[in-house]
Structures are given as structure tokens and as C-alpha cells.
Amino acid sequence: MFNGKSIFISGGTGSFGRNFIRRLLEQYQPKRVVVFSRDELKQYEMQQTFNAPCMRYFIGDVRDADRLRQAMRGIDYVVHAAALKQVPAAEYNPTECIRTNVNGAENIIAAAIDNGVKKVVALSTDKAASPINLYGATKLLSDKLFVAANNIAGEQQTRFAVVRYGNVAGSRGSVVPFFSKLIADGAQELPITDERMTRFWITLDHGVQFVLDSFARMHGGEVFVPKIPSIRIVDLARGMAEHLPHKNVGIRPGEKLHELMVPLDDARMTLEFEDHYTIQPSIRFTSVDVDFAVDKLGERGRAVGEDFEYRSDTNPHFLSVGQIADLHAKLSV
């Protein structure tokens, strides 16, 4: 579906953006790929690797509505990956986080509608489900905006959906590079917030493919949640450095013991498919009767039980220490 099409990705110089564009260029022949981000240096460095004739690099901020409209001219598909993501930084700089994550989402929506974009997929996070920190709250607001955007579009055919998943293995700013640096620097122990802590875990490759699949699946208004494994943080530390002891440092402000991707209150709107869950919009925005139980690929889902939750601690699929060690070895290559 991307052959001969123009694709725009906000936050395109990040871990997800680079891997998404690599996959896009390997599997398709896009007409144009627009990388939209704030950092001139990261764009320069990225151009050394991604220099195909179809590549375009726009310096800009999602807070700038006019620049977004300009950059999205002639675009068919949009991936919105730009966000302020660090939980402590968001708590300390709440207004800045809101401007990027919430106002930026509004600007992406308006620019997409104004330019007649076909489909938009916005990346979300497990922290948006029953949020307890500002970052999660802004991403929940962003999710709601993108779902509601299918109504805001009016007679325009632009459709919006959300992809929500957990911690990305090895992404910048995550625990894996943090532990890796400590190990490389000769640390005598690894800091563990709480030995009971669990997290959802997804590789960049899986996340990229899931986003590509979501473009093909979407009617508009869905929140797509992949079925992915969980890890215990203590097992992650063992898998990366079995010889090092651990030091309990306590849960940081704004941090959960376990993460959640489908809250109990969303169970009545949730459908289970073979490899993912779909949270349907609670309010239908068009006069067209959409059957979300059958997606655009013809895949069929079924309703989950009213007591359903998708939590990292009750997830039936956990990675073992050995599997984590193998995954870390692959990431280190």
C-alpha cells in the first residue's frame, strides 16, 4: 500500500523513526518519505545513512501548525511518533510536555485534514492507560484526540487510529542502554526499582511491523494493542549481567509497579484478534455502520470478557532470563 505513496513521520530521527524508514525502504518503493523533527544534527547524521532520492528532511516542531501544514503537502500517510517521553522531565516541565504531546497532536490532526491525508497512525504508550504521571496523561489526551479526529474530519476522508504498546527493547532513553552503559563502565551492581516490577516488552522490529499492519487494518477510531511478552525487571538485569548483584532503589515518582494496556473499563469495547487487541471507539462518529470485529484485512475478532484487563503482571507470556539474554545479545550486535 506504500508503493508510489508519500509518507510523513514526525519525530522521524528517533529509534522508531529510523527503523520504520529502514523497513519502508526495504519493502516498498515510496514516492517520498518526509522526516519531520527538531534536531538539525540528528537529521544530518540520519542523511548519511538514509540518502535515497525519495528522502526529504524537514526541520520543524509539531507545536508549529503552519510548518506542519507545509511539510504535509501531498502526503498520503502519516506516522506521528514525536513526543516528550521522559517521565521525570515531564513532571518538572509540565507545560512543555502538554505543548508537544497534546497541542502537537492537535496540529498533526489539523494539518492532515487540511492536506487530505488518507490515513494517520499515532504512536501511544502503555502509560496512557489509567495514567498516574503527566506524560501518561498527555498521551491519553493525545489518544482521545486522534480517535475523535475521525469526527473532526467531517466530510474529509482522512482516517485516524492509535497504536499503543509497551517498552521498546533497546530504544534510546530506555532501561537497556542505561544498564548497558553501567555494565560497560564497570559497575559493581545494577539499580533495581522493585524486584516485583514487570513491564511489557516489544522489539523495534515488531513495533514497526505492527504499525505497518495497522495502516492496512484500520477503519478509523481504533486503538490497536499488540500481544507482546512481559518481563520482570530483575530478570532483565540477570539476563544482561548475571554476575552483578542488584541494589533496590525504590519506585520513582510517577512510576507504576506494573503496566496496563487495556484497562478494565475498556473491556466492553475491546476485541481480541489473533495477534492483537482492538479497543473500539466508544462513540461512533459517522453514519456508516462500521463492524470493527472484521478489520480491513478481513481478520475477525471476538469480544473479551467484562472482567478483562491486559496487564504486564498477569500477562500469560513472560520472557525467561535466557530469552532476555539472547535478545540482548542480538540488540548488541
What is the C-alpha to C-alpha distance for residues 137 and 255, in angstroms, rounded to an integer? 13
From the candidates 85, 119, 127, 227, which is the catalytic residue?
127
What is the C-alpha to C-alpha distance for residues 161 and 219, in angstroms, rounded to an integer? 8
Among 145, 147, 128, 125, which residue's Cα sits nearest to residue 137?
Answer: 128
What is the C-alpha to C-alpha distance for residues 196 and 233, in angstroms, rounded to an integer? 8
What is the C-alpha to C-alpha distance for residues 88 and 36, in angstroms, rounded to an integer? 25
Cβ neighbours for 246, distance < 8 A, ≥ 6 positions apart:
189, 190, 191, 192, 195, 234, 237
Q: Name the strand (E) or helix (H) holding 107.
A: helix 104-114
Pairing mode of beta strands 270-272, 276-279: antiparallel
Q: Name the strand (E) or helix (H) holding 36.
A: strand 32-37
Query: 127 an active-site residue?
Result: yes
Residue type for 149, please?
Answer: A
Q: Is 126 left (phi over 0), alpha (psi -120 to 50) or beta?
A: alpha
Provide the annotated active-site residues.
Answer: 127
